[in-house]
Amino acid sequence: MALTTACLCCATLLVVHYSVKEHAREQVVAEAHTSLLAFDVLLHQHQNTLARKADLLATKAAMTGDDDDPGAAQSSPDALESDGSDLVAVADGAGRVVVLHSSPSSFSAADAQDMLARSSAEGSRSDWWYVGDSLYQVALEPIGHGPRKIIVGREIDYRAVHDMGRISRSQVVFSYDRHIIASTFRPIEEQEADKKLQSASSRGQIEMGDDQFFADSLELTNRSGSVVRLTVLKSFSESAALISRLNHLLLALGLVAVLAGAVFVFLISDTFTQPLANLLEGFQALERGDSDFPLHANGGDEVAQTTRAFDRMRDTLRKNEAQKQQLEDQLRQSQKMEALGRLAGGVAHDFNNLLTVIKGHSELITDRIALADPVLMSGQQIRKAADRAATLTRQMLTFSRRQALQPKVLNLNAIVDDMGKLLKRLIPEDIEVIFRTQESIGRVKADAGQLEQVLLNLAVNARDAMPRGGKLTIETQNATVDQDLARIRPSVEPGEYVKLVVSDTGTGMDAETKTHIFEPFFTTKEPGKGTGLGLATVYGVVKQTDGFIWVDTEIGVGSKFEIYLPRVNAKLDADVMRRDSPIRIAAPETVLLVEDEAEVLTLARDFLTAAGYQVLTAENGERALEVALGDNSIDILVTDVVMPRMRGPELAQRLRRVKPGLKVVYVSGYLEPNETDGDFLKEASFLNKPFSREMLVHQVGEALRKSAPANVAVETVAN
Ligand SMILES: Nc1ncnc2c1ncn2[C@@H]1O[C@H](COP(=O)(O)OP(=O)(O)OP(=O)(O)O)[C@@H](O)[C@H]1O
Ligand SMILES: [Mg+2]
């Protein structure tokens, strides 16, 4: 840009320079010509003056009548000087010069007579006389009417020439036969000028020394080849000096223009070009995936505003990208959990049936064997192992969220109070346990047993993280998560919650450990000390209760687990049934038992029969419908939930159409999400597999004691 400006300036200067030079040349030529014309006029005036003077003297001479010496009045040198003429002469009738006054005095009468003869031959009354290196402009006037003549002349000497030169500021040269007679040149220059003028034409360019002149000349007289010429020489150097001054001025102007251009270019570059280039680099960096390229956006001009807008856009993109990454991670995590859940659920279904059989038969064995029998020990061991296996299965199901929960509206403080007593036994004395429960806390809808499990798992983890003692704090409080809080707790959605916070002053976790803690079987504990299912269970319960978990931890400082459970407005439910209620022997009521696993069916039948119930059995839903149609005395249906062809809830629904008010107990190891079942647990009891004899008998007894469900429509069975 600066280069272009400089080039344009130079080109302009050159054009201006050459046009001015050309113009100056033309000016010189014109001036030379004008000067020549002016001198021509001047010489005519001089001629007139000389003519008048000659006329005056002639009149005077005629009047005095002094024929012999008509110029006597001028015969004295004084008279000549007062007249201001360089030559005054009187010629008689024969053409002889009788009186001659001249300055310089080298002029002889013979010379004058000679010149007069020439002039008289041409009959002219004005003439140029060249005598003895002097040039005179002369006027010739007859005295009276006679043949005598008065001649008055003016010498063209250096003074006269210099006077002329002053008028026109040019060199003036009078020459005779191409030899300089008088000029405004200095003597040395005059010699050179003399040589040049001899060879040059009457009009044109002449070079002298370092200077150049334009010469224009005027022929004053040409008598038989002897030419008296006036030449005007106008120097180009004056105009060259002018041009040079102009050049300097133009150069200075050019420099100023280039400098101004450079400043302008710098300003444009600083304000627009550089920021634009920076913005462009930012764009290109973003294309390459680099959204951290430093952008400079100073000032309030359009480029700066665009840059800022681009920066904001880039920020949003970055945030969106981070959010997308987080969502993808969450999706991957939940897909992983889902897959594990399906696996766990599938295994647990069969496993729970097997465990029910093992557990039940081991109970039967231990019940029937005498106390002294050594087999009793083995039976008890089998029972314990089955219990442990059942716990593991339950944990797996909880984590996979297939555990059959029995959610009730409850107060979290009640759970914490209950667990407090148990925890005191679990936590060593060097750990200070602090409970901070908020009064008038909101209610939550959750499975009480599962919440106890959550609190227990968190407390045990905290204990394990503080081998040398510390502080365990358990808090409950109402919490409102607004948009601001949700931003710093990204995994928690805005809403109203009841918060359970379990914090410790233990070892804390590094970032890597923190990302894995909710994965099943992830543990940092020694083999045999931890299964890695504790937090997976916590995660499962919280998710199944529609809640969220937030973990804060720092190595050497401690960990804090915040559990957000959605607040509900419903009334508190009655106390959750305790499983350890004593077994009671039932009245001889009729139980329809439906179970697709033959061994479980047999075992459950035995348990119920032993408890005094009439038991009808069926291995699937269709068979159960047949049995029910054949026997009208059925009081209660005990059915497996997950069965081929017809699921437990559907069977119950169809039976209730013919037998409204029929009590139902569902038995299951896990629950698959199934939309057609609806909220089937609403008007029924539920028993988890694997169950013990006590649990089964107790649940059936409890269900029979409950009042009949209201608003059940009476319909005939469809098939
Ligand atoms: N409060 C805590 N402080 C420090 N680390 C913890 C804490 N809670 C959990 N962890 C880490 O998370 C891991 C997983 O915990 P999790 O409860 O799932 O399994 P576990 O305690 O190892 O075994 P278990 O199945 O017996 O609970 C732990 O091994 C431990 O490294
Ligand atoms: Mg644990």
Question: Each residue of 322-349: pLDDT tens digit?
Answer: 888 878 887 887 787 677 777 777 777 7
Mutate to test the pocket of ligand 1, among 337, 388, 433, 461 (most ligand atoms within 8 A of CB): 461
For residue 221, the cross-strand partners are 228
Q: Is 531 in the pocket of ligand 1 (CB under 6 A)?
A: yes
In this prediction, residue 82 carries a pLDDT of 44
Domain stop point among 397, 420, 443 = 397
In a domain, 284, yes or no: no
Q: Is there a single domain that holds both residue 527 and residue 608? A: no
Question: Each residue of 502-531: pLDDT tens digit?
Answer: 999 999 999 999 989 988 889 999 887 888
- The DSSP secondary structure of 533-549, one letter per residue, reads -HHHHHHHHHHHTT-EE
Instruction: Quickly tell me which residue has 């309030």 as its tokens.
Output: 300
Distance, CA 688 to ligand 1 centroid (Å)?
27
Domain stop point among 237, 254, 280 = 237
In this prediction, residue 405 carries a pLDDT of 66
In this prediction, residue 719 carries a pLDDT of 30
Q: Is there a single domain that holds both residue 73 and residue 191? A: yes
Is residue 296 helix, strand or coil? coil
State the total domains in the chain: 4
Tokens of 669: 């190891």
Distance, CA 562 to ligand 2 centroid (Å)?
16
* DSSP for residue 74: G
Question: Each residue of 115-134: pLDDT tens digit?
Answer: 888 888 887 788 888 887 78
- Residue of 502, 340, 332 lying closest to 416 (CA atoms): 502
pLDDT average, residue stretch 277-298: 87
Q: Is there a single domain that holds both residue 99 and residue 142? A: yes
In a domain, 273, yes or no: no
Is residue 661 helix, strand or coil? coil
- Per the CB < 8 A criterion, the answer to whether 565 and 542 are in contact is yes
Pairing of strands 171-176, 558-568: unpaired
Q: Is 541 in the pocket of ligand 1 (CB under 6 A)?
A: no
Q: Is there a single domain that holds both residue 385 and residue 411? A: no
In a domain, 538, yes or no: yes
- Per the CB < 8 A criterion, the answer to whether 608 and 595 are in contact is no
Q: Is there a single domain that holds both residue 31 and residue 146? A: yes
In this prediction, residue 98 carries a pLDDT of 82
- The DSSP secondary structure of 616-642, one letter per residue, reads EEESSHHHHHHHHHH-TTEEEEEEESS
In this prediction, residue 579 carries a pLDDT of 40
Tokens of 422: 């148990």
- The DSSP secondary structure of 413-457, one letter per residue, reads HHHHHHHHHHHHHHS-TTEEEEEEEPTTPPEEEE-HHHHHHHHHH
Q: Is 509 in the pocket of ligand 1 (CB under 6 A)?
A: yes
Tokens of 274: 């550089």
Q: Is there a single domain that holds both residue 311 and residue 456? A: no
Q: Is there a single domain that holds both residue 437 and residue 346? A: no
In a domain, 582, yes or no: no
Indicate which atom in ligand 1 lies nearest the CA of residue 522.
14
Tokens of 602: 């047999």
Q: In terms of pLDDT, which residue wins out, 159 or 308? A: 308
Mutate to test the pocket of ligand 1, among 535, 557, 561 (most ligand atoms within 8 A of CB): 535
Taking the C-alpha atoms of residue 152 and residue 126, their distance in angstroms, rounded to an integer, is: 10
User: Residue 236 is which amino acid?
Assistant: F
Mutate to test the pocket of ligand 1, among 523, 552, 557 (most ligand atoms within 8 A of CB): 523
Tokens of 34: 């004008």
pLDDT band at 717 (very low <50, low <70, confident <90, very high): very low
Boundaries of domain holding 439: 407-568
In this prediction, residue 553 carries a pLDDT of 96
pLDDT band at 252 (very low <50, low <70, confident <90, very high): confident
Instruction: Quickly tell me which residue has 């607004």 as its tokens.
Output: 482
* DSSP for residue 255: H
- Residue of 281, 422, 396 lying closest to 341 (CA atoms): 396
pLDDT average, residue stretch 443-452: 89
Rounded to 5 degrees, φ, ψ at 532 are: 80, 20
Taking the C-alpha atoms of residue 43 and residue 172, their distance in angstroms, rounded to an integer, is: 13
- Per the CB < 8 A criterion, the answer to whether 120 and 95 are in contact is yes
- Per the CB < 8 A criterion, the answer to whether 193 and 178 are in contact is no
Q: Please provide the size of the chain in residues.
A: 719
Q: Is 700 in the pocket of ligand 1 (CB under 6 A)?
A: no
In this prediction, residue 619 carries a pLDDT of 92
In this prediction, residue 399 carries a pLDDT of 65
Please state which of the ranges 101-105, 446-450, 590-594 shows the lowest mean pLDDT: 101-105
Q: Is there a single domain that holds both residue 393 and residue 422? A: no
In a domain, 475, yes or no: yes
- Residue of 685, 682, 670 lying closest to 401 (CA atoms): 670
Q: Is there a single domain that holds both residue 27 and residue 153? A: yes
Residue 66 has pLDDT above 70, yes or no: no
> Reduced to 3 DSSP states, what percent helix, strand and coil does the chain have, rounded to the nearest 5?
50, 20, 30
**Ligand (nearest to CA of 398):** 1
Distances (CA, A) of 402 to 349, 373, 409, 544: 10, 40, 20, 9
In a domain, 649, yes or no: yes
Taking the C-alpha atoms of residue 228 and residue 250, their distance in angstroms, rounded to an integer, is: 45
Domain stop point among 220, 237, 254 = 237
pLDDT band at 563 (very low <50, low <70, confident <90, very high): very high
In this prediction, residue 443 carries a pLDDT of 94
In a domain, 189, yes or no: yes
Residue 268 has pLDDT above 90, yes or no: no
Q: Is there a single domain that holds both residue 384 and residue 453? A: no
- Residue of 649, 645, 644 lying closest to 686 (CA atoms): 649
In this prediction, residue 363 carries a pLDDT of 84
Tokens of 164: 């002329």
Q: Is there a single domain that holds both residue 183 and residue 54? A: yes
Contacts of 544 (CB under 8 A, 6+ apart): 398, 401, 403, 405, 450
**Ligand (nearest to CA of 525):** 1
Distance, CA 550 to ligand 2 centroid (Å)?
16
Q: Is 513 in the pocket of ligand 1 (CB under 6 A)?
A: yes
pLDDT band at 9 (very low <50, low <70, confident <90, very high): low
Distance, CA 651 to ligand 1 centroid (Å)?
43
Please state which of the ranges 243-257, 351-365, 391-405, 641-655 shows the lowest mean pLDDT: 391-405
Q: Is 465 in the pocket of ligand 1 (CB under 6 A)?
A: yes
Helical segments of 84-186, H only: 109-122, 158-168
Distance, CA 541 to ligand 2 centroid (Å)?
15
- Per the CB < 8 A criterion, the answer to whether 154 and 87 are in contact is yes
Residue 714 has pLDDT above 80, yes or no: no
Contacts of 604 (CB under 8 A, 6+ apart): 356, 360, 593, 595, 638, 667, 696
Q: Is there a single domain that holds both residue 139 and residue 206? A: yes
- Residue of 467, 457, 462 lying closest to 540 (CA atoms): 457
Rounded to 5°, the CA angle 509-510-516 comes to: 80
We report the CATH number of the domain holding residue 358 as 1.10.287.130
Is residue 585 helix, strand or coil? coil
pLDDT more than 90, % of the chain: 18
- Per the CB < 8 A criterion, the answer to whether 531 and 510 are in contact is no
Is residue 345 helix, strand or coil? helix
We report the CATH number of the domain holding residue 463 as 3.30.565.10
Taking the C-alpha atoms of residue 273 and residue 261, their distance in angstroms, rounded to an integer, is: 15
In this prediction, residue 517 carries a pLDDT of 93
User: Residue 8 is which amino acid?
Assistant: L
In a domain, 268, yes or no: no
- Average model confidence (pLDDT) for the chain? 82
Contacts of 298 (CB under 8 A, 6+ apart): 275, 304
pLDDT band at 106 (very low <50, low <70, confident <90, very high): low
Question: Each residue of 145-200: pLDDT tens digit?
Answer: 777 888 888 888 888 888 888 887 788 888 888 888 888 888 888 888 888 887 77
- Per the CB < 8 A criterion, the answer to whether 649 and 673 are in contact is no
Taking the C-alpha atoms of residue 665 and residue 662, their distance in angstroms, rounded to an integer, is: 10
In this prediction, residue 402 carries a pLDDT of 64
Question: Each residue of 31-54: pLDDT tens digit?
Answer: 888 888 888 888 888 888 888 888
- Per the CB < 8 A criterion, the answer to whether 447 and 404 are in contact is no
Give kind and range of the element (H or E) at residue 223. strand 211-223
We report the CATH number of the domain holding residue 681 as 3.40.50.2300
pLDDT band at 79 (very low <50, low <70, confident <90, very high): very low
**Ligand (nearest to CA of 395):** 1
Residue 718 has pLDDT above 70, yes or no: no
Rounded to 5 degrees, φ, ψ at 87 are: -145, 125
Residue 404 has pLDDT above 80, yes or no: no
pLDDT average, residue stretch 275-291: 87
pLDDT band at 672 (very low <50, low <70, confident <90, very high): low
Query: Which residue's CA is the nearest one to ligand 1's atom 4?
Result: 508
In this prediction, residue 117 carries a pLDDT of 83
In this prediction, residue 715 carries a pLDDT of 31
Distance, CA 327 to ligand 2 centroid (Å)?
27
Report the 10 Å Cβ neighbour count for 252: 10
Distance, CA 422 to ligand 2 centroid (Å)?
16
* DSSP for residue 708: P
Taking the C-alpha atoms of residue 528 and residue 445, their distance in angstroms, rounded to an integer, is: 35
In this prediction, residue 500 carries a pLDDT of 96
